[in-house]
A and B are shown apart, each in its own frame.
Chain A
Amino acid sequence: MVADETALGLIQLGAVFFGLGLLGRLAARIGLSPIPLYLIGGLVFGTGGLVELHHVDQFIHLASEIGVVLLLLLLGLEYTADELVTSMRRSWTAGVVDLLANATPGVVIALLLGWGLTGAVAMAGVTVISSSGIVAKILNDFGRLGNRETPAILSILVFEDLAMAAYLPLLTAVLAGVGFLTGATSVAIALIAVSVVLVIALRYGRYVSMLIDSHDREIFLLTLLGSALLVAGMATVLQVSAAVGAFLLGIAISGTTAESARTMLEPLRDLFAALFFVLFGLSTDPKSIPPVLGWACVLVVVTVVTKVGTGWWAAARAGASRYGRLRAGTSLVAHGEFSIVIAGLAVSAGAVPAEFAAMAGTYVLLMAVLGPIAARFAEPVVRRLDRLRAPAT
């Protein structure tokens, strides 16, 4: 019987991976981020029609935890401590505007739907954080790295990512329903940890990297992954959220070590993160989507406006033209992996109603698809409108 279980588990897991592979191929063909398709894939699997996943349940749960750790670890590896500090100093006003403008719609809608404080805090995170992955891909694919507005866009992303390090422990505390004092303590621990890691990374980043670096690929991978999971686990014990621990470790690793860690971990992250997105889809009941669809669309319209407004304002401060401001604004629309990370935390804690998962999933689905489209077509459309209007005046 045990052999049967194993065989079934392997077949199910193989079917999931293979299915995701096909979806990923489809996404690449139509030039889309694969995240929305993974979510849909999860929804389809979850209805029980195609594949019943009882035999790999536990594996997928653990794998998706690892996926979140890797997502945040690689996010930390993207940045050097130096970049974070200079970027923060230069653009904290734009960052604060971004947080306020884009958290408010999430909070308001959560309160309107009666999800209470917990739902409001979680929804705020979902609507604030743009997907640095999708945005970086947009900037690259459309050849906008040299443009005047680009540093302003990237600064906002850095601010959001760093703000997440303070936000996640807060969310964890709220979700756990702990008292004000315990919550405040874990946020304080997180803030202190962020500052300590930044100082260590700025002064002694070399040594952290030396500790992990190795010329042997196998040893390097084991040390890196081992330390990431250890740090993530310990952070969870301190109620600081595993993701934050991984993010901080990523920041502390610098230079060539960070570069080789990135190339080595990227495929692993894609694999485990894909399972995480599937799990989120699985735990969302498709029947709960239609009732919230209207509100999700309202939220999409409102946050597209606030995100474009934020980018517009930030790019204007950098002295960009109207079209540059429009490009900056539309670039920020894309939401993705980190919105799902936040929503996933809330859902797995069981502290939010079922409609929350449906709402967050639908919202991210729409924003992940809409983002690249808006970034691509808003400027040509406005240019054409301007040209039509010009002869008249």
Chain B
Amino acid sequence: MDVEVTPLPGIGVRKDFPLGGSGRRVGVVDRKDGTVDLILSRPGNPDECEQVAMTVTEAATLAGLLGAPQLVGQLVAEQRDLEGVNTRQLSLRTGSPYAGRPLGDTRMRTRTTASIVAVVRGGQTIPSPGPDFPMAAGDQLIVVGTGAGLDAAAAILVDG
């Protein structure tokens, strides 16, 4: 992908690239103070952009949201030859009995045969989390298993 990098003296650096489908440009303005603006050019007008200011945490969260499906997609592609094995992205919602508890407490593997292979939090992917990994509400869990196992895993995360 060709990312166009344009210096904005006194403000920061603009990095953007064209979106093939819609003919719009999308990118960010990296400011000197570390904050980020999301920019997206208006439909049918490559000259003008929508600009959304974001804090560092907000930008990282957005990056995570954009990155997580890709991780799932990658795992799905790797397991294409394995009959009956699926990958799903499950979110740990506020109010889940496991929010704030170590991952081992779910006894996920024993109860459903499904495995939690990664956790996406705040834009960062934590691969192969151990049993003592503390889970938090809002985490995205990447779970691998059979269809039935994944359904059971989803139910456990909600009801305990």
Where the two chains meet, the residues of A that have a C-beta atom closer than 8 Å to any C-beta of B are 78-79, 83-84, 86-87, 132, 136, 139, 143-151, 154-155, 157-158, 259, 320-321, 323-324
Q: Which of A84, A146, A320 contacts B39 (CB 8 A)?
A: A146
The reply to whether A84 and B48 contact each other, CB–CB distance below 8 Å, is: no
A-B contact pairs, 13 of them (CB 8 A): A83-B9, A145-B14, A145-B29, A146-B14, A146-B25, A146-B37, A147-B47, A147-B48, A151-B7, A154-B8, A154-B9, A154-B11, A323-B48
Total count of chain B residues near the partner, CB < 8 A: 24
The reply to whether A259 and B14 contact each other, CB–CB distance below 8 Å, is: no
Contacts A143-B51, A146-B51 hold; do A86 and B7 have CB atoms under 8 A apart? yes
Cβ of B50 < 8 Å from any Cβ of A? yes
The reply to whether B32 and A259 contact each other, CB–CB distance below 8 Å, is: yes
Cβ of B33 < 8 Å from any Cβ of A? yes
Contacts A143-B49, A146-B49 hold; do A154 and B37 have CB atoms under 8 A apart? no
Q: Report the minimal beta-carbon distance from A317 to chain B, rounded to whole angstroms.
A: 14
A275 CA to B6 CA, complexed, in Å: 37
Q: Which of B7, B14, B16, B32 contacts A87 (CB 8 A)?
A: B7
Interface on chain B toward A: helix, strand, loop, or mixed SS? strand
Within 8 Å CB of B39, what residues of A?
145-146
Query: 1/0 contact trace for B98-142 toward A, CB 8 Å?
Result: 000000000000000000000000000000000000000000000
Q: Which of B33, B40, B49 contacts A144 (CB 8 A)?
A: B49
The reply to whether B10 and A146 contact each other, CB–CB distance below 8 Å, is: no
The reply to whether A146 and B27 contact each other, CB–CB distance below 8 Å, is: yes
A-B CB proximity, top 5 nearest: A146-B49, A146-B39, A143-B51, A83-B9, A78-B10
Within 8 Å CB of A154, what residues of B?
8-11
Cβ of B41 < 8 Å from any Cβ of A? yes
The reply to whether B10 and A157 contact each other, CB–CB distance below 8 Å, is: yes
Q: Report the minimal beta-carbon distance from B66 to chain A, rounded to whole angstroms.
A: 18
Cβ of B46 < 8 Å from any Cβ of A? yes
A139 CA to B9 CA, complexed, in Å: 13
Query: 1/0 contact trace for B31-73 toward A, CB 8 Å?
Result: 0110001011100011111110000000000000000000000
Within 8 Å CB of B27, what residues of A?
146
84-99 of chain B: CB within 8 A of chain A? none
Q: Report the minimal beta-carbon distance from A200 to chain B, rounded to whole angstroms.
A: 19
The reply to whether A79 and B10 contact each other, CB–CB distance below 8 Å, is: yes
Contacts A148-B46, A149-B47, A259-B33 hold; do A132 and B10 have CB atoms under 8 A apart? yes
